[in-house]
Structure 1
Amino acid sequence: MNEIEAPVPPKPKSQVKPKASRKAKPVRVVERTEDFSNLPVSDPEDQQQLIAVLQQQIRSYVAIQGDEAEQPLLEQALADIERFHGGQLRRSGQPVIIHPLRVARYICQAGLDAPTVIASLLHDTIEDTTMTRDYVSGNYGEWYAEIVDGLTKIKPPETETRQSVVVLEATYQKMLGAMARDVRALFIKMFDRLDNMRDMKSMPRKKQRRISLETMGVYVPMAERLGLWEISREHTELCFQVLYPMRYTATVDTLEHLKQERGGAIETMRQRLGVIMGPLEEKLLAVEPLFSQPADHIFRSTPVDHVLEGFQITVAQPLDCYQALGHLHMALSAIPRQVRDYVSNPRWNGYQALRTALLLEGERVTVEIVSHQMHERNRHGIMAHWSGTPSELADYYKTYLDQLNQVAGESDLRMNDVLRSMQDEQVQVFSPKGEMFALPKGSTVLDFAYCIHTDLGNHCIGALLNPSRSGPRQSGTRVPRDRQLGHGESLSILTDPNVRPAREWLQHAVAAKSQIQIKHAIAQQNAARARRVGREVLWQELRRLQIDSETWLDSPAVQEALTSEHLTPESFLQEIGLQKREVVPFLKHHKLVPAGQMNTFRELLRARNWGAVFRSQATTNFYIEDVADLLLHFGTCCNPVPGDRIVGFSTDAMEVEIHRAKCPRMAEFQKHRPVLVQWRLPKDEKRRHLFEIGVADGSGILFRITKIIKDAGVAIEDSVSSVSGAGQASIRIRVEPITWSQYSRICHGLRGLKFVKHLTPSRLDGTASVAGKHP
């Protein structure tokens, strides 16, 4: 790589984000973008000739599609990539400059706007040359700098595999952010990867496989999710060639053989369909067979046994599709329950068509009916919809871009979460108003609630399935929030203002957005709880020192002390509440104790630790008012329940871990700071609970368990038993709403049974209480 000194930027261009040229027309993409990678350009003269041809084609396109202000930017971009990429060669031996020219040419063939063409020319400059972001911003404008920088990889460290994985995650999130902010960055990246895949033959085999696996895991699902079937199919076929070369060759040969073998029969069927469509006259544009492609077989282990996937009938207008369907069903035998109307109800990636299955010439055949516009949009997806602004995109595209943006902004997500957000398999569900929402396959009612609005998700208790309105109230089947969604279902979310997210909700959520929102809600609850505890502890100590606790935090001296340690009043209280910071040493270090209170202060300093201070005053600093408190984590080694003598420890996970005073693992927790805790559960509050009990299989077990529950004065609403094998059984018992006293009595009674191996009581609003393995 040549070292080129970046020239001094001239006067900055306009920082306004460029819009699509007014000359831009709806996308009309060619059958397949022209593949320049296979041209014989080993000779320098051939290389220069190819560069000149590409440059001229790009200039001609921008002259038509762009405006006067974009002409000089194009010329500058062509000059800059020649200057900065000068002397660089790809592994194939071609000059590096050919790559951005090819990508820009693909952008032209896709009918995209002039700014996208210019940005595509620059897409590798920051990553592979000495050109800087400031140079791009100064010479082209901030929009171009954001696009190019967003597509630039973060440089990985040379050591530490885990760090490299983290860098890869950060790179993807950075790219996703750029793509979500402006979809044109996504178009550039798709064509960039396509050109790299076409030009991989000279790369080492190991790198070819790595890039192909990455393409299959990231770019193919994203392309399918956005309806870019042409790009997705070619990406998949190129990956097939690299990952399974022998099977790919055999698949291509078999498909070609089958096509020749069945050519006559397929043509006969095509002509029969043409005759049936005769009454449509000028409305009929084409009847074509849909052949199986090599890309369709990359994950199929069975031998290729067919080449015909069906037929496509193309008509002029959407309404003509229904006429064509009527003619088909009148002339041929239709397979029952096989009609799919994706015209009025597009799929999650924008796909539109009428599909039906028929008996044609003794064979079962799938027929797809589309209008000409549907055909173009089905092949080219979001690119066919793009005409200048995101607001003009269909809702399913805007929703997906919004999901990518949320993933890009969440630094805690790991690579699996990022890949899940790009998943192409989706389930479509509807709100009671008929709004369609697309979520990853396997999503639950909870995911749907978060997809609609964060507040709905945070208070979700379930949903009404396929609701119908009878008078002022809705009716429908009530389902829990962890139920998986079915395709085409309609749901009305049910909420309870007293319900809050819990850790167990993460097991019920599939979508990245849901995971993010649940984690944020839990973190906010933990922080708020910690601040409340911290305030109580702080106020208690200030009162002992006879300091006015109401105004103490607002005093200039305290504000100065907090600022010196980079703390806010909220973070200060939170650290105290989590026992990460002691009040007395803070007061001493910053000299915040009044002179008249020094004697009292010295007594506090003589105390060994916070526990000693509290024990000396016969008080506690942490009350358990709800076993579902997210700041608490109950040890699974001893299963503390209300009524047990307990101790707490402040952990590195920003939680207080609760154990029984006689926990056999107590010695292991001595390294953590002890926190005095005490039960303070509402005496009269009643809640419904579900007890999941793992037992050693035997006789009389259910009788003894139910006797303990009934002796506590509690009625059993439902119970289910199952044998898991190896002498183990599982019993689920749902009880009526009970008090904490009854709850404690039941837990203690069940814990005392020798055959009970595992006890998991949980609140039926979904918030887990105490769970764990029986000691």
Structure 2
Amino acid sequence: MDYAASILAKLPGRAARRDHGLRQLLVKLRTYLTPDQIKLVVKAYRFGAAAHEGQRRRSGEDYISHPVAVASILADMHMDAQAIAAAILHDVVEDTETGIADLEKEFDSEIATLVDGVSKLDQMPFNSRAEAQAESFRKMMLAMIEDIRVILVKLADRLHNMRTLDSMPRDKQARIARETLEIYAPIANRLGINRMKVDLEDLGMRYLYPYRYRVLEKALRRAKGNQRQMLRKMADRIRKSLQEQQIDGEVIGREKHLYSIYKKMAEKKRLLNDIVDVYGFRIVVHDVNTCYRVLGIVHGLYKPMPGRFKDYIAIPRINGYQSLHTTLFGPKGMPLEVQIRTVQMNRVAESGVAAHWQYKAEDKSSATPQRRAREWLSRLVEIQEQGSSEEFLENVKVDLFPDKIYVFTPKGDIMPMPKGATTVDFAYAVHTDIGNRCVAAKIDRNLVPLRTQLQNSQTVEIVTARGAKPNPNWVTFVTTAKARSAIRLYMKQMRSSESTDLGKRLLDRSLKDLGSSLRKIGKVRMREALNELGLDSPEGLYEQLGLGERLAPLTARILLGIGDDGEKTDAKASLTISGTEGLVVTYAKCCYPIPGDEVMGYLSTGRGIVIHRNNCGNLSNFRKQPDKWISVDWEKELQRDFTTQIRIETINRTGVLAEVAATIADAGSNIEQVSVGDRHEDCSELTFLITIRDRTHLANIMRRVRTMPNVARVTRDCA
């Protein structure tokens, strides 16, 4: 009797609920781990169960059931014993008195490091929840760079949490589901773990869009019933053709996944029936040559659709995925999607980087998903050094949605790039130094502008020059995280005489427009102004101006002590728009800008800076005075109310005005003014001047009003 069998025999015949998970886990582990490795897992289980003793999940189960379920997901992927043990222990540091040092002492540094990488950073002080989440994500990704098993444990943890999300309140379900769809499912996709990606996406959709999920699920269930007989006939026909050619292959009906159907409907603007009524097969054979033979066979059975063939064997996807994809005209003209791949390719498609641990005989360094994952992770190392945690999170998000094209270097090497990538993105993808020294680009030997977007199969050559530097304007058109972060890093490092000189010239010019100059300001007034602005030296001020962090016209007014009415003043305005220190900010009554709107500032005599929305109809009146327009942006996390105006068309019913006003008040808004516009026999137009916090608050109010039975239309007013 092996060790796993002896442990199973000792568990109660009718196992306690807590031990039931261990029983299932051991049954899986005994198929591929040695007795010594299983001993390590059992030791981790006993340690974890003791540490979590008395703790329960929100569902009422013993807490240890969760880490064991996470370990079981990894066991399905045939992960090694250290990863399984780390999965069982992954919450002990966060939720019990156990420390990393205790784990290192009891087990080893490898398991302790894995657990530490998965643990959050709740014990550290942060200014906001977003910052805490971003820093936890950054820590997890950095730990993943050291050991990719960290993210596999975290993905399994997230998958089990999503499977047990019913016990959470609705708002938490939506927040966790959104995070899953935006971060964790794309990471699983980026690492090639298709099985986990599909589960995370479908569960994420179920909790984020419950109504859409139910509608699609019902439609898919109905479509499966209608398709069953047709699928069987087509599968039998393909199998028969393979047998006639003496090809040993497996023909599998391919399941459609709810989230992928939903995304296709949204992206391609197609009806549900157009997406659901597509048959799918996967044909798995033993070698690459046979894949291409099978392609010829299916093209002989059913006519291929022009332009719908993709060869991911010759040019694998960025996550290592390989397969032949073709779409055929099936019976009655229905589309038939066929994927053809080898057993090895199928294994990699389902498990991605985890496929390495399933088959130890493969060389770790040469395994395609492993190698591609490590290339991506090496880029993350560069990105994480170039900004805050929140910037890092946004950069990685950009990198996690790789809708790819493939271009060639002059030497014929294939470079995968995201759709919409430019020649500058390509330059940075080759090497950061190439991007920094890029001065021109050639596509298929022809010179093109640097902002030119790349297309499939082009050959791209980058022209560099010694001493060349990145242009800050490149940030406006690059799409890859690596290019954006490298350019921003350069801009941040422009703490040089160049930016200082530029800032000094800008300030002097603005002072001359006001009848003064830097020479006339004097050291005493300069020192006073620097104290007001919280700066140490004039050079620091010039540097901020040169880097665009502060506005020269406003800084000139501060130095001269000029207020909104042209009189000298020392009063400082409360800051709501960044860069407007020393001036009172007013908000245009024509368009009522609120936080979240894209805005511009107009330097108005007697009113200071007047903020308008970019789509304000009155902007055309001010176009002839571009010198008075100033680029401005909102400060983060404003804690105040703003006024805006909404127009509501209602059906004429007694008491409808009171109903609408009550709904607006219930949404946390104060009504400052109401006016009744055009009245017709059937409908009325009501205009409300209300206070809100930001665009999200306004959207919530408009959504509530729009769902009222007597409301026909709700719009936001703008001149």
Q: In the alignment, is residue 477 of structure 1 matched against residue 477 of structure 2?
A: no
- 8 A contact 1:342–1:353 mirrored in 2: yes
Tell me the secondary structure at the aligned position of residue 272 of structure 2: coil
Aligned counterpart, 2:55: 88
Q: Render the CA deviation track for 1:92-117: whole Å, top value 9, x for unaligned.
A: 11111111111112222211112111
Aligned counterpart, 1:591: none
2:60 partner letter: G
Aligned counterpart, 1:380: 351
2:33 partner letter: Q
**Aligned-residue CA RMSD in angstroms?**
3.7
| Structure 1 segment 427-466 matched on structure 2, within 5 A | 427-466=405-444
2:293 partner letter: Q
Aligned counterpart, 2:556: 666
Aligned counterpart, 1:403: 379
When Rg is computed on C-alpha atoms for both structures, the one with the higher figure is 1
How far has the Cα of 1:169 moved from its partner? 1.0
* In 1: Cα distance, 2:170 partner to 2:183 partner: 20
* In 2: Cα distance, 1:251 partner to 1:529 partner: 58
| Structure 1 segment 623-702 matched on structure 2, within 5 A | 634=506, 650-651=539-540, 654-655=543-544, 657=546, 666-669=556-559
* In 2: Cα distance, 1:214 partner to 1:231 partner: 15
* In 2: Cα distance, 1:262 partner to 1:670 partner: 78
Aligned counterpart, 1:589: none
2:460 partner letter: L
Aligned counterpart, 1:224: 189
Higher relative contact order (CA 8 A, sep 6+): 1
Aligned counterpart, 1:99: 66
TM-score by length of 1: 0.61
* In 2: Cα distance, 1:262 partner to 1:175 partner: 44
Tell me the secondary structure at the aligned position of residue 53 of structure 2: coil
Aligned counterpart, 1:190: 155
Which region of structure 1 is more displaced relative to structure 2, 377-386 or 47-56? 47-56
Aligned counterpart, 1:584: none
* In 2: Cα distance, 1:304 partner to 1:111 partner: 37
Q: In the alignment, is residue 522 of structure 1 matched against residue 411 of structure 2?
A: no
Compared CA separation, residues 444 and 276, structure 1 to 2 (3 A): same
* In 1: Cα distance, 2:128 partner to 2:212 partner: 36
- 8 A contact 1:637–1:665 mirrored in 2: no
Aligned counterpart, 2:651: none
Match of 2:121 among 151, 154, 159: 154
| Structure 1 segment 200-599 matched on structure 2, within 5 A | 200-281=165-246, 283-299=247-263, 300=265, 303-305=271-273, 306-363=276-333, 364-386=335-357, 391-394=365-368, 395-412=371-388, 413-414=390-391, 415-466=393-444, 476-527=445-496
- 8 A contact 1:650–1:657 mirrored in 2: no
* In 1: Cα distance, 2:451 partner to 2:254 partner: 40
1:359 partner letter: F
1:100 partner letter: P
Compared CA separation, residues 638 and 480, structure 1 to 2 (3 A): farther
* In 1: Cα distance, 2:627 partner to 2:198 partner: 50
Tell me the secondary structure at the aligned position of residue 167 of structure 1: helix
Instruction: List alignment gaps of at least 5 residues for structure 1.
Output: 1-43, 467-475, 531-577, 579-623, 673-723, 730-753, 761-775
How far has the Cα of 1:335 moved from its partner? 2.6
* In 2: Cα distance, 1:91 partner to 1:725 partner: 50
Tell me the secondary structure at the aligned position of residue 115 of structure 2: helix
1:667 partner letter: R
* In 1: Cα distance, 2:561 partner to 2:316 partner: 59
Compared CA separation, residues 246 and 636, structure 1 to 2 (3 A): farther
Compared CA separation, residues 333 and 105, structure 1 to 2 (3 A): closer
Instruction: List alignment gaps of at least 5 residues for structure 2.
Output: 1-13, 522-537, 563-614, 630-719
- 8 A contact 2:30–2:38 mirrored in 1: no
1:102 partner letter: A
Tell me the secondary structure at the aligned position of residue 253 of structure 2: strand
Q: Render the CA deviation track for 1:571-611: whole Å, top value 9, x for unaligned.
A: xxxxxxx7xxxxxxxxxxxxxxxxxxxxxxxxxxxxxxxxx
Tell me the secondary structure at the aligned position of residue 449 of structure 1: helix
Q: Render the CA deviation track for 1:619-673: whole Å, top value 9, x for unaligned.
A: xxxxx5xxxx6x77846995999xx9877964558435499xx96872224589x
Aligned counterpart, 2:566: none
* In 2: Cα distance, 1:59 partner to 1:653 partner: 65
Tell me the secondary structure at the aligned position of residue 333 of structure 1: coil
| Structure 1 segment 32-47 matched on structure 2, within 5 A | 46-47=16-17
* In 2: Cα distance, 1:664 partner to 1:92 partner: 57
Aligned counterpart, 2:691: none
- 8 A contact 2:21–2:69 mirrored in 1: no
* In 2: Cα distance, 1:254 partner to 1:246 partner: 13
2:112 partner letter: A
2:252 partner letter: E
1:490 partner letter: T
Q: In the alignment, is residue 122 of structure 1 matched against residue 89 of structure 2?
A: yes
* In 2: Cα distance, 1:654 partner to 1:755 partner: 30
Aligned counterpart, 2:660: none
Tell me the secondary structure at the aligned position of residue 128 of structure 2: helix
Q: Render the CA deviation track for 1:501-522: whole Å, top value 9, x for unaligned.
A: 2322322332222233223333
* In 1: Cα distance, 2:327 partner to 2:29 partner: 48
Compared CA separation, residues 74 and 463, structure 1 to 2 (3 A): same
* In 2: Cα distance, 1:45 partner to 1:637 partner: 82
* In 1: Cα distance, 2:471 partner to 2:70 partner: 47
- 8 A contact 2:284–2:341 mirrored in 1: yes
- 8 A contact 1:181–1:405 mirrored in 2: no
Compared CA separation, residues 658 and 251, structure 1 to 2 (3 A): closer
- 8 A contact 1:424–1:440 mirrored in 2: yes
How far has the Cα of 1:75 moved from its partner? 4.0
Which region of structure 1 is more displaced relative to structure 2, 488-497 or 169-178? 488-497
Tell me the secondary structure at the aligned position of residue 326 of structure 2: strand
* In 2: Cα distance, 1:266 partner to 1:320 partner: 23
* In 2: Cα distance, 1:268 partner to 1:633 partner: 78
1:98 partner letter: S
1:401 partner letter: L
Which region of structure 1 is more displaced relative to structure 2, 444-453 or 124-133? 444-453
How far has the Cα of 1:327 moved from its partner? 2.5
Tell me the secondary structure at the aligned position of residue 310 of structure 1: strand
- 8 A contact 2:510–2:556 mirrored in 1: no
Identity across the alignment (%): 25
Tell me the secondary structure at the aligned position of residue 183 of structure 2: helix
How far has the Cα of 1:86 moved from its partner? 0.9
Compared CA separation, residues 725 and 196, structure 1 to 2 (3 A): closer
- 8 A contact 1:646–1:658 mirrored in 2: no
Compared CA separation, residues 94 and 725, structure 1 to 2 (3 A): closer
